[in-house]
Amino acid sequence: MTTDFDGCRRTCRIKDQHTLVWGECEHAAQPEPTVSMSKIYTDSDGHPSIGFDRYTAQQLADLIEPALRKASLAGGYDRLALAAAYQIIHRNGEGAR
């Protein structure tokens, strides 16, 4: 029987084992920070719905990099910023250039 549940919530104690869920169990690994962005998509009923994508810093960088490579550097940072913003907005293929 495990008894080291001092930093854990009730779930670990009830199961008599560590759940390893961040925020509930003291032995859980801290997850990598992410950003969530809403998106509108056509749901199974054919109507628009709002959902969310979640990205780590690396996943977001992988999404933005191709757009920055396509942007003309002659326009300066404003063109790079616009290219990145466009890529984020159209990340799911809608309206992609």
Asked whether residue 49 is domain-assigned, the answer is yes
How many C-beta neighbours within 10 Å does residue 18 have?
18
CA distance 87 to 67: 6
| Contact by Cβ (8 Å): 19, 28 | yes
Domain count, the chain: 1
Asked whether residue 55 is domain-assigned, the answer is yes
Q: How does pLDDT run across 2-55, given as a tens digit for each residue?
A: 568 888 999 999 999 999 999 999 999 998 888 888 988 899 999 999 999 898
Asked whether residue 69 is domain-assigned, the answer is yes
Asked whether residue 5 is domain-assigned, the answer is no
Token pair of 30 as six digits: 């801290």
Q: Which domain holds residue 38?
A: 32-89
> Which residue has tokens 């109507």?
47
| Contact by Cβ (8 Å): 54, 33 | no
Asked whether residue 21 is domain-assigned, the answer is no
Direct distance between the N- and C-terminal alpha carbons of the chain, in angstroms, rounded to an integer: 59
Q: Does the global pTM surpass 0.85? A: no
